[in-house]
Amino acid sequence: MISFPALLAVGLAPLQANATSSVALQAGLITALWSYRDRLREMRGDVGRLLPPCVTGGAFGAVLALALGARVFAAIAPALLAIGALLILLQPLITRVIAVRQAQERPTVFFIGAFVLAVYCGYFGAGGGILFLAALALLLPRPFDELNALKVLALPASNGIAAVTFVVLELSHPTGVVVWRSVPMLALGALIGGALGVSLAKRLPARALRIISGALGLAMAAWIVLK
């Protein structure tokens, strides 16, 4: 949520900010994924079910963003940004609700749900982690720590393949959608954040960080509309 508004603030167009942020933030997502490798290794069945819809949906979302173009993305970016911000602000409520729901395994519903969320993460992505966690809790009867591990996998699987799609298409047919000069510093910040995120999360007030991130997202959504 932070990187997208930050790139908008320095002058990038919404679609450029989205693609550039997706590419740069993979370092942090992969670092977080690495920390869950042992847990995920024990969940090979669930991993095998989750990856296909995430990979295909993420790629489709990225292609959709490029096919519809910058004008369409700029038009709907405020709504997407506001949704992501609200999801962050409502995270404690969502967590309490899904904690008491009894999930039922329905393979077809699971695939469709994961695919739709992956399309969202490939197209935009803000708040995708909370959406995935909520959906997984409704679709899989698993302990919360296992659901969280699957969520950590779902993000680089969907948004990561979207980033790869952005890079491949940009290299084969340059359009400026990925602003390469902004990638290194964002990637470095994501790498450090991914490595230190767990320890920092234990020390920093989560409520304050959630409010700041959510308020920033809502403010940037309003700024895009007024601009």
Burial (Cβ within 10 Å: 0-12, 13-18, ≥19) of residue 110: buried
| Domain assignment present for 36 | yes
Q: Does 2 reside within a domain? A: no
129 is written with which tokens? 């982690």
H helical segments located in the chain? 3-9, 14-24, 26-35, 37-41, 44-89, 91-99, 107-123, 128-139, 144-172, 183-203, 206-226
In a domain, 57, yes or no: yes
Q: Encode pLDDT of 7-49 as tens digits.
A: 877 888 888 988 998 898 887 888 888 888 888 999 999 999 9
Domain count, the chain: 1
CA distance 129 to 148: 9
Q: How far apart are CA 36 and CA 57, in angstroms?
A: 23
Kindly state whether residue 193 falls inside one of the protein's structural domains. Answer: yes
What's the domain range around 104? 13-226
Nearest to 183 by CA among 24, 31, 29: 24
For 152-197, the pLDDT digits (tens) are: 899 999 999 999 999 998 899 888 899 999 888 888 877 776 656 5
Residue 89 lies in a domain: yes
Q: CA end-to-end span of the chain, whole Å?
A: 20
Question: Mean pLDDT across the stretch 56-84?
Answer: 86
Residue 162 forms part of a structural domain: yes
DSSP state of 40: H
Euclidean distance between CA atoms 118 and 63, whole angstroms: 12
Distance CA 65, CA 71 (A): 10
Better-predicted residue by pLDDT, 215 or 115? 115
Q: Is the pLDDT reported for residue 59 higher than 80?
A: yes
| Residue 145 belongs to a domain | yes
Q: Does residue 3 form part of some domain? A: no
